[in-house]
Amino acid sequence: QVQLGESGGGVVQPGGSLRLSCAVSGFTFSNYGMHWVRQAPGKGLEWVAVIWYDGSNKYYADSVQGRFTISRDNSKNTLYLHMYSLRAEDTAVYYCARDAYNPPGSYLDDWDQGTLVTVSS
Amino acid sequence: EIVMTQSPATLSVSPGERATLSCRASQSVSNNLAWYQQKRGQAPRLLIYGVSTRATGIPVRFSGSGSGTEFTLTISSLQSEDFAVYYCQQYNNWPPLTFGGGTKVEIK
Q: If DSSP codes are grouped into helix, strand and coil, which group holds residue B84?
A: coil
Q: Are the beta carbons of A90 and A119 closer than 8 angstroms?
A: yes
Partner-chain contact A45 B94, CB within 8 Å: no
Q: Are the beta carbons of A112 and A45 closer than 8 angstroms?
A: no
Partner-chain contact A44 B100, CB within 8 Å: yes
Partner-chain contact A45 B34, CB within 8 Å: no
What are the chain A neighbours of B101 within 8 Å (beta carbons)? 44
Cβ neighbours of residue B60 closer than 8 Å, sequence gap 6 or more: B54
CA distances from B58 to A76, B29, B61, B108 (A): 31, 23, 8, 24
Q: How far apart are CA B105 and CA B64, in angstroms?
A: 16
pLDDT confidence of residue B82: 97
pLDDT confidence of residue A1: 81
Candidates B42, B91, B98; nearest CB to A107: B91
Which 3-state string (H, E, C) describes B16-36? CCCEEEEEEECCCCCCCEEEE
**pLDDT confidence band for B106 (50 / 70 / 90):** very high
Partner-chain contact A45 B99, CB within 8 Å: yes
CA distances from B56 to A16, B8, B49, B60 (A): 40, 27, 11, 11
Q: Are the beta carbons of A77 and A91 closer than 8 angstroms?
A: no
pLDDT confidence of residue A67: 98
What are the chain B neighbours of A112 within 8 Å (beta carbons)? 43
The tens digit of pLDDT for each residue in B18-45 reads 999 999 999 999 999 999 999 999 999 9
**pLDDT confidence band for B63 (50 / 70 / 90):** very high
The tens digit of pLDDT for each residue in A108-120 reads 999 999 999 999 9
Average pLDDT, chain B: 97
Q: Are the beta carbons of B2 and B25 closer than 8 angstroms?
A: yes
Q: Which of B44, B48, B66 is nearest to B56 (CA)?
A: B48
Residue ranges in chain A whose pLDDT is less than 50 = none
User: Please, which residues 59-78 of chain A have a Cβ atom closer than 8 Å to chain B?
Assistant: 59-62
pLDDT confidence of residue A2: 80
pLDDT confidence of residue A76: 96
Partner-chain contact A107 B102, CB within 8 Å: no
What is the DSSP code string of A91-109?
Answer: -EEEEEEEESSSS--S-EE
